[in-house]
């Protein structure tokens, strides 16, 4: 299955990235000469996405100017200038700009990966293939600790052999980190609260119903949360460019 629509969560304040984010939005911070959001857009486009909603708030004008240069896909803006909606509220608002009856990929604008193996389906295509709306509320891309750069070491979930996810507890087998990419049916958020809320509400609901699944990421996953995380991330990108 090729998923043709997506949302990118890009409206955050990037407070831990200050002072850089005092003058620019975090998704436009460059890693290896390329804004972080462009790694995300490239991955979505490579997987077959043709329509992408991006929410904006912090330095929204800069985000819109940058996104207007993207001609490979249709970009729709979910404007949060007046009210920042948090991860769940922002997603619920943005998904209204997409087809509610077709699956959608969702990605964070500041989390990405490099070094996908040649000759294999890309990570997002594998995620799309795994998703089965009859059995799943969401399917997530997940990564093991030794494939992360810039991460704080905290595991989010434990993944069973069939891909089912539960919240990780110390000592549990198969710990993984949520890699900031998932697929869902947009109508799943039709009952979302009005106003800002955290998407973890829906993660926990899916876990309770046994309907949260994951698939493993191939490559090296990067999170750049603070200025001192830029150099290690750029080193990883440079190594992968040289080996490509």
The domain locations on the chain are 5-243
Please state the rounded mean pLDDT for residues 14-30: 95
Q: Which of 126, 178, 141 is nearest to 157 (CA)?
A: 178
Distance CA 229, CA 224 (A): 5
pLDDT class of 244 with cuts at 50, 70, 90: very low
Q: Which of 4, 113, 2, 117 is nearest to 52 (CA)?
A: 4
pLDDT class of 1 with cuts at 50, 70, 90: confident
Tokens of 225: 């949360």
Looking only at the bridges linking them, the beta strands covering 104-108 and 138-143 are unpaired
pTM of the model: 0.94
Looking at the DSSP bridge assignments, the partners of residue 34 are: 31
What is the per-residue pLDDT across 206-224, written as a single tens digit (0 to 9) for each?
999 999 999 999 999 999 9
What is the per-residue pLDDT across 33-86, written as a single tens digit (0 to 9) for each?
999 999 999 999 999 999 999 999 999 999 999 999 999 999 999 999 999 999
List CB contacts of 228: < 8 A, sequence separation 6 or more: none
pLDDT above 70 coverage of the chain, percent: 98
Tokens of 43: 């991955």
Please state the rounded mean pLDDT for residues 106-122: 94
pLDDT at residue 243 greater than cutoff 70 = no
CATH assignment of 5-243?
3.90.550.10
């Amino acid at each position: 299955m090729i998923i043709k629509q997506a949302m990118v969560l890009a409206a955050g304040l990037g407070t831990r990235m200050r002072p850089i984010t005092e003058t620019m939005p975090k998704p436009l911070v460059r890693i290896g000469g390329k804004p972080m959001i462009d790694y995300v857009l490239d991955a979505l486009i490579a997987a077959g996405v043709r329509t992408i909603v991006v929410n904006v708030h912090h330095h929204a004008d800069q985000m819109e100017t940058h996104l207007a240069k993207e001609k490979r896909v249709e970009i729709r803006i979910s404007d949060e200038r007046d009210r920042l909606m948090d991860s769940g509220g922002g997603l619920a608002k943005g998904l209204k700009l997409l087809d509610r009856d077709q699956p959608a990929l969702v990605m964070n604008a500041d989390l990405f990966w490099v070094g996908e193996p040649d000759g294999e389906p890309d990570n997002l295509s594998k995620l799309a293939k795994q998703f089965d709306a009859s059995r799943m509320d969401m399917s997530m891309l997940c990564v093991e600790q030794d494939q992360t750069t810039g991460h704080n070491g905290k595991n989010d979930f434990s993944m069973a052999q069939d891909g089912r996810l539960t919240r990780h507890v110390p000592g549990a087998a198969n710990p993984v980190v949520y890699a900031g990419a998932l697929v869902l049916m947009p109508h799943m958020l039709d009952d979302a609260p009005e106003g800002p809320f955290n998407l973890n509400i829906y993660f926990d609901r899916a876990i309770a119903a046994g309907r949260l699944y994951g698939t493993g990421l191939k490559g090296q996953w990067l999170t750049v949360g603070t200025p001192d995380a830029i150099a290690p991330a750029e080193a990883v990108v440079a190594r992968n460019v040289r080996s490509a």
